[in-house]
Amino acid sequence: MTTTSSPAPLYGVGLTLDKLERTHCDRCGSSAILGQYYRWERRERLCPRCLPGSTNRSLLWAYLFLLASVIGAAALVGSIEGGFATLFVVNALIGVVILHLLIIPHELIHAAVARLLGGQVFAIHFGLGTPLWSGRWRGMQIFLRQFPVMGMCIFGLPQPGWIRLRYGLVTAAPLVGHLIFAVWLWPQLNWVGVWTTLSWREMLMFANGFLLITNLFPNRSAGAGLGTDGLKLWGLITGKITAQELHSLYFAVAAGEKFQAQEAEAGLAIADAGIALYPDHLVLQTNRLGLLLQAHRYEEALPLLIAKLAGPYPDPLLQALDLNNAAWSILMLARSGQLDGTGYDLAQGKEYAEWAFAMLPWLAAVEGTWAAYLLEIGETEQAIVHSLSAAKHQEIAEHRATNLAHAAVGHHRLGQHDEARALLAQAQSLAPQGAQVRWAAGQLR
């Protein structure tokens, strides 16, 4: 396994891909020149795509260990007192259930206070892992995920006045709620009874206190990439989180949410308003360019992307996204017959796509673009592999349909017509009017 601790190499500084050291994922085999984003997990070096799956398995083992510990403690107490401390096991399980349920009011308090203070709540996530259900309520996207051990409220504050104070109040509100609840509940407790009686109040207190303490501790989860409420409050206290950062974050997140909702024009209006205030904000610029692509305004996006790629990048992830978007713009202009006269060609687009994939092979959008170029240059079998892999990990329906459509064209070119028709049917069910779905249908005729 090869790893690197050197600074992230960036496109355009005289480097070539074949001379750059790569880090390999021990599970999926992908390799990237941005090895600093891979993580060790139980003796394996994992890419960001494989890491959540490992985190899910670790959580499952943690549940089993907790259950075994509770049963073991009950057996030990039973051997001393005589019998088996069944009620202790029941109480412990009640405490675990309550702990998970308390995540719901915790995140809802974040959302309610954010709205009361003039904020906009974009989404609430209950749990980690694969989404089991999602829906919209009062303009918010709600996600119920596989493991209910953590939550996240995504919000922004569009008005800059007193923004650090308001952000702090939104962040601290559930913690204050936990503290008030603990003070109210404390006189009613009888901890001795947890061994001999059904003690739901004590277990409620335990779960409430555990959630309060773990959220106050300034920590960031490596697997989920989430910071605790305590970490955010510490950032406010130390001045690491500035008013400008919070206000610009609203525009970046709002534009990103519109991208996820496939509302390109609305997202562009938000991004334009944000860039008018923060013209050097790279995330906002990247979001705006992505929205231009979503609106199929490739001729407008491409020169902006090329100009941006000529500048410095403090974050290699943003450069990789811009390389990917430039590659996709070139490909789409070529397929529509509009590339001639632009000064760009497919060879340049392939170079951009190859670099983006070398930097972010775990990102479905980047892998999908690389697969499309493999299809263009005749590496059909590899194009199918990467198209199907991208489709598996793509959350946006139209983008997943595009990946499936490219895989269908690949099978068609290999003479595998049944597979091609089946994949095209899947793509059409997801996005019947998608531009690349219609292009693929024309290729299969």
Q: Are residues 275 and 302 in the same domain?
A: no
Give the tens place of pLDDT for each residue, 254-311. 999 999 888 999 999 999 999 999 999 988 998 999 999 999 999 999 999 999 988 8
Tell which of 189, 210, 238 closes a domain: 238
Q: Which long-range contacts (CB under 8 A, 24 or more apart) does 390-394 make?
A: 390/364, 390/365, 391/364, 392/364, 393/49, 393/364, 393/367, 394/364, 394/365, 394/368
pLDDT higher than 50, residue 223: no
The pLDDT value recorded for residue 97 is 85
Q: Are residues 276 and 315 in the same domain?
A: no
Residue with tokens 């989920």: 224
Tokens of 407: 């895989």
Higher pLDDT: 26 or 226? It is: 26
Higher pLDDT: 329 or 75? It is: 329
Residue 377's alpha-carbon distances to 171, 295, 321, 380, in angstroms, are 51, 26, 22, 8
Q: Are residues 416 and 320 in the same domain?
A: yes
- Residue 50 counted as domain residue: no
Please compute, for residue 93, the number of CA atoms within 13 A of its CA located in the half-sphere on the CB side. Answer: 11
Asked if residues 33 and 52 have their Cβ atoms less than 8 Å apart, the reply is no
Q: Are residues 224 and 273 in the same domain?
A: no
- Residue 360 counted as domain residue: yes
Torsional sign, CA 378, 384, 389, 393: positive
Of 335, 401, 313, the C-alpha closest to 364 is 401
Tallying the residues shown for the chain, one arrives at 445
Q: What's the predicted TM-score (pTM) here?
A: 0.81
Asked if residues 383 and 374 have their Cβ atoms less than 8 Å apart, the reply is yes
Q: Are residues 190 and 88 in the same domain?
A: yes
Give the tens place of pLDDT for each residue, 189-200. 887 776 677 788
Q: Which residues pair with 154 in a beta bridge?
A: 123
Give the tens place of pLDDT for each residue, 83-114. 446 777 777 788 888 888 999 999 999 999 99
- Residue 333 counted as domain residue: yes
- Residue 127's pLDDT band (boundaries 50, 70, 90)? confident
Torsional sign, CA 78, 83, 85, 90: positive
Q: Are residues 224 and 275 in the same domain?
A: no
Mean pLDDT, rounded, of the chain:
87
- Residue 407 counted as domain residue: yes
- Residue 391 counted as domain residue: yes
Give the tens place of pLDDT for each residue, 316-371. 888 999 999 999 999 999 999 999 988 899 999 999 999 999 999 999 999 999 99
Q: Are residues 92 and 146 in the same domain?
A: yes
User: The CATH number of the domain where 426 resides is what?
Assistant: 1.25.40.10
Per the structure, the count of domains in the chain is 3
- Residue 128's pLDDT band (boundaries 50, 70, 90)? confident
**CA 380, 382, 384 angle in degrees (round to 5)?**
70
Q: Are residues 234 and 130 in the same domain?
A: yes
The pLDDT value recorded for residue 13 is 64
Tell which of 193, 212, 238 closes a domain: 238
- Residue 95 counted as domain residue: yes
DSSP 193-255: GGGTS--HHHHHHHHHHHHHHHHHS--EETTTTEE-HHHHHHHHHHT-S-HHHHHHHHHHHHH
Q: Strand runs (DSSP E) across 47-181, as ranges?
A: 120-137, 140-156
Q: Are residues 288 and 301 in the same domain?
A: no
- Residue 57 counted as domain residue: no
Q: Are residues 199 and 118 in the same domain?
A: yes
Q: Are residues 319 and 190 in the same domain?
A: no
Q: Are residues 97 and 219 in the same domain?
A: yes
* Average pLDDT estimate for 207-227: 76
Tell which of 205, 238, 271 closes a domain: 238
Of 116, 74, 112, 77, the C-alpha closest to 91 is 74
- Residue 400 counted as domain residue: yes
The pLDDT value recorded for residue 6 is 38
Asked if residues 438 and 332 have their Cβ atoms less than 8 Å apart, the reply is no
Domain span at residue 276?
A: 251-295
Higher pLDDT: 390 or 85? It is: 390
- Rounded CA-CA distance 155/123 in Å is 7
Higher pLDDT: 2 or 65? It is: 65
